[in-house]
């Protein structure tokens, strides 16, 4: 690929490179048994469905300012102020700023999450014991490299606006990569981080229905991610129900509860308010309490909860934590084996429809600021 850096991603305080030192057990599998047929068939699928980031039509002109302006002309500010009750009513120019920055922020976190997935999957190749899981993970490594490539190119070349990794996401990625237990890497990356991304990508695709380039990118990435989440579920199936002591299970519960907290924090757009020079405390409090945004944050768990249930990890302690976050409503949703895709939950579609019906201009969805 021919690449020239433009509008580089802002760096965290740690600088251009940061490293974490963990102990990693690298496992050879000398029997090459290849008996897990479901993993092998996912591996075959992964190979057949691989795509090339260079095939994306990068000539598409992306002018988000114009797209948001069309929504504003349709009365988006009035709608937003009525439905979301911001601390200060948002004029068109402020809402435009907020939408563009929130969108760049969310996409930047996807980029950083993809880099985490790239590194975590490379680690899985080394420490998962079964050969067929190594095969699949190796294929996933190539997928994740492509995901980093497309999000990075979109952010730097098309948006020209981006954010460094959210500290909570950075912390979670470090923990996932540092943990020597292979199942915790799977659990953290394939079930939690990717499960959340899968649901969030679905919403992004709805909100950006009028931007063809991101539609194409997200559709391609989602097809890969749904396989990745499915891989995590299949690889972990049975382990927590049959093979773990109560102490080991308790450690996994602690991990899920802490990771859930970090993932919820990572969805808060505080860095946007800070960069815009708005009162970050006031605006963050608002974004925590506003029903629409609360609804968005909850729905990003719509795939995670049924997958945890399938794995036997919706234990009384996890249930208790999830009950407090009002996340148990997703427990009877279809898991990633029953339904690999992640359609946005109907409550969210209804909310978005409510916006659309109230808007004069077709396609005038509330936009990424709703995250």
| Least distance CB 301 / Fe ion (angstroms) | 17
* Least Cβ distance, residue 182 to Fe ion (angstroms): 16
> What minimum distance in Å lies between the beta carbon of 230 and Fe ion?
11
CA-nearest of 207, 213, 215, 197 to 303 is 197
Residue 131 vs 225, nearer CB to Fe ion: 225
Least spacing, CB of residue 114 vs Fe ion, in Å: 5
Tell me the C-alpha distance between 182 and 22, whole Å: 12
Closer by beta carbon to Fe ion, 213 or else 222: 222
Measured from the CB atom, the residue of 112 and 147 that comes closer to Fe ion is: 147
Contacts with 106 (C-beta within 8 Å, 6 or more apart), sequence order: 200, 204, 269, 368, 371
Alpha-carbon distance 320 to 54, whole Å?
46
Q: What is the Cα–Cα distance from 188 to 194, expressed in whole angstroms?
A: 8
Nearest CB to Fe ion, comparing residues 132 and 225? 225
Nearest to 128 by CA among 114, 115, 141, 142: 141
Q: Name the minimum Å distance from CB 162 to Fe ion.
A: 17
**Minimum distance of Fe ion from residue 337's CB (angstroms):** 16
- Residue ranges that bind Fe ion, judged by CB under 5 A: 114, 117, 144, 147, 194, 225, 228
Task: Look at residues 270, 299, 90, 85 and name the one whose alpha carbon lies nearest to residue 167.
Answer: 270
d(CA 298, CA 288) in angstroms, rounded, equals: 11
Q: 145 or 206, CB closer to Fe ion?
A: 145
Find the shortest distance in angstroms from Cβ 193 to Fe ion: 8
Nearer to Fe ion, 116 or 366 (CB): 116
Specify the residue, 147 or 264, whose C-beta has the smaller distance to Fe ion.
147
Listed as own residue / partner, the contacts of 60-68 with beta carbons closer than 8 Å and 24 or more positions apart are: 60/212, 60/213, 62/154, 62/158, 62/159, 62/211, 62/213, 62/214, 64/99, 64/100, 64/103, 64/159, 64/211, 65/96, 65/100, 67/210, 67/211, 68/95, 68/96, 68/99, 68/100, 68/367
């Amino acid at each position: 690929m021919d690449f020239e850096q433009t509008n580089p991603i802002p760096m965290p305080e740690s600088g251009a490179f940061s490293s974490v030192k963990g102990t990693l057990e690298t496992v050879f599998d000398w029997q090459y048994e290849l008996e897990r047929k479901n993993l092998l068939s996912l591996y075959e699928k992964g190979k057949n469905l691989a795509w090339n980031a260079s095939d994306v039509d990068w000539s598409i002109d992306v002018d988000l300012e114009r797209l948001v302006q069309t929504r504003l002309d349709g009365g988006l500010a009035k709608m937003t102020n009525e439905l979301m009750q911001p601390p200060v009513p948002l004029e068109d120019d402020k809402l435009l700023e907020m939408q563009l920055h929130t969108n760049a922020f969310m996409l930047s976190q996807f980029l950083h999450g993809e880099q985490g997935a790239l590194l975590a999957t490379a680690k899985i190749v080394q420490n998962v014991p079964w050969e067929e899981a190594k095969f699949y993970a190796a294929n996933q490594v190539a997928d994740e490299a492509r995901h980093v490539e497309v999000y990075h190119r979109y952010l730097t070349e098309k948006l020209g606006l981006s954010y460094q990794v959210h500290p909570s996401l950075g912390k979670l990625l470090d923990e996932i990569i540092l943990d020597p237990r292979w199942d915790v890497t799977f659990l953290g990356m394939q079930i939690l981080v990717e499960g959340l991304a899968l649901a969030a990508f679905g919403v992004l695709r709805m909100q950006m229905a009028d931007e063809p380039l991101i539609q194409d990118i997200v559709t391609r990435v989602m097809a890969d991610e749904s396989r990745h989440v499915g891989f995590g579920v299949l690889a972990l199936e049975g382990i927590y129900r049959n093979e773990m002591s109560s102490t080991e299970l308790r450690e996994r519960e602690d991990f899920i509860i802490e990771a859930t907290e970090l993932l919820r924090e990572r969805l808060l757009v505080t860095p946007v308010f800070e960069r815009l020079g708005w009162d970050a405390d006031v605006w963050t409090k608002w974004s925590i309490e506003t029903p629409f945004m609360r609804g968005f944050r909850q729905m990003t768990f719509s795939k995670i909860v049924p997958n945890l249930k399938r794995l036997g990890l919706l234990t009384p302690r996890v249930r208790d934590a999830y009950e407090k976050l009002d996340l148990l409503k997703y427990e009877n949703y279809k898991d990633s084996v029953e339904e690999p895709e992640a359609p946005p939950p109907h409550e969210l579609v209804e909310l978005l429809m409510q916006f659309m019906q109230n808007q004069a201009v077709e396609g005038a969805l509330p936009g990424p600021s709703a995250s």
